[in-house]
Amino acid sequence: MNTTNKRYSGYIRPFSYLFDIAVINIFISVVLPTELNEHKFHFFTTIAWLLISWNIQFYEVYRFTKSIEILGKILKQGILFLLINFAYLGYFYKFSSPTQMVNYVAISILIISLDKFFIYFFLRKFRAFFGGNFRKVIIVGSGKKVSQLAEFFNKNPDYGYKLEAIFEFKSEKEVDFDDCFSFVNQNNIDEIYCALSSFSNSDINKFVDFTDNNLKVLKFLPNNKDVLSRNLMLDYYGYIPIISLRNTPLDKHANKLLKRIFDIVFSSLIIVLLLSWLIPILALLIKLESKGPVFFKQKRNGLNYAEFSCYKFRSMRVNEIADVEQVSKNDPRITKIGKFIRKTSMDELPQFFNAFLGTMSVVGPRPHMVSHTEKYAKSVDKFMVRHFIKPGITGLAQTNGFRGEVENERDIINRVKYDIFYLENWSLLLDLKIILLTVFNAVKGEKKAY
């Protein structure tokens, strides 16, 4: 199974946030009167800028976004930012002349616009001339739309798509499917574009299942845009409509940033207020009962199937099968203190360091041991979809009775169903609900907490 994934550029967007916030704060002291150069106005403008940008999706700029759309976002952002600053001045200062505020917003927006367009056009040139920041794609199907999309990819290298092959599926379909899927895995293809007019529903389901289980992006090339359902999203590459299979809330960078901020704040509070004094106590108790390290470190699969080190308080005696054999009820490897911390879920608390560092989230699909992940990826349909987002310390499946040991096929199938539901319906309120249910279940005690 190939797990290469190059869908995200991790540094450009955070840089844009920081640059823009720096600009609007620097020009407060440069352009505006000294009485406005105070902490509360800096705080107000920063929060206002972020709220407006999230509302109008100011930072949602993709490789297929047109420059005129970016200009429209800039105008909306500038106008709303100006109006909300006027409201602030009118309420707190009763300013009679708007000139200085207009100059402040105009200069800030100009600098931000130049930076935004510089990055946008630089990336396009970078893709066109150096072949960097590109995604490997294939098109499956035939017809006019397929030819148009192929021509678009070939004539617009600045968009960053490298067309590797077209599969027309004109012969025996089963053979063609095998050839296509083998080609995708062998050549590290990132995205598959499927012409809906060329396939039946059962054929399309094969593409859906394959991409879900192999962490590939599937998009559809429709006859017209009326085939959309509530779970699909429409984009345009030039004038060609493209349908994305899964439109999840955490695909939006604003939501991703909000979740990351929540993870940092929440995990910091747990580390400072709880783990700072709990670690020495548990470390002493763990060491007194058995030899070995205080923390147990295990390789697990996280975002985009990447391996990371997951931390726990050691609850078992040191043994050679810890990384391959899951803990079962009345497991003789568990120590006395280990039984207590597992029953109360205290053994999972070091994972807040994982959440703080960014390898995990507070809430998300629970990560599995690498050996178990490889096993379930082959036997459980859509198991790999869980890896489109970061794993969590707790998750929706765990609060609905599917935590701990996987005793039968039903356990893992239902766990995957809950994880996919969470991925497709994420919200900060849902995260808070899951956290509260996790605390409640830990206090109440759970049958599978062993």
Per-residue pLDDT tens over the stretch 120-135: 888 777 766 766 667 8
**CA atoms in the 13 A half-sphere facing the CB of 136:** 14
**pLDDT over 80 (residue 329):** no
DSSP string, 56-82: HTTT---TT--HHHHHHHHHHHHHHHH
CATH number, span 134-247: 3.40.640.10
CB 13 within 8 A of CB 196: no
**pLDDT over 50 (residue 226):** no
Q: Give the number of other Cβ atoms within 10 Å of residue 168's Cβ.
A: 14
Backbone dihedral angles phi then psi of residue 323, each to the nearest 5 degrees? -90, 0
Which pLDDT value is given to residue 229?
Answer: 43
**pLDDT over 90 (residue 109):** yes
Q: How far apart are CA 396 and CA 403, in angstroms?
A: 10
CB 30 within 8 A of CB 8: no
Which of 242-246, 314-318, 360-364 shows the lowest per-residue confidence on average (mean pLDDT)? 242-246
Q: How far apart are CA 405 and CA 448, in angstroms?
A: 7
Could you give the residue ranges of the DSSP H alpha helices within 133-236? 144-155, 173-186, 201-213
**pLDDT over 70 (residue 227):** no
More confident residue, 266 or 344: 266
**pLDDT over 80 (residue 336):** yes
List the chain domain ranges: 12-129, 134-247, 253-444
Its pTM stands at 0.61
Mean pLDDT, range 1-29, rounded to an integer: 73
Looking up tokens 């043994």 gives 319
Which pLDDT value is given to residue 174?
Answer: 66
Backbone dihedral angles phi then psi of residue 207, each to the nearest 5 degrees? -65, -40
More confident residue, 229 or 299: 299
Which pLDDT value is given to residue 140?
Answer: 92
Confidence of residue 450 (pLDDT cuts 50, 70, 90): very low
**Which value, in Å, is the radius of gyration of the alpha carbons in the chain?**
26
What mean pLDDT is reported for the chain?
84
Q: In angstroms, what CA-CA distances link 126 with 119, 120, 223?
A: 10, 10, 33
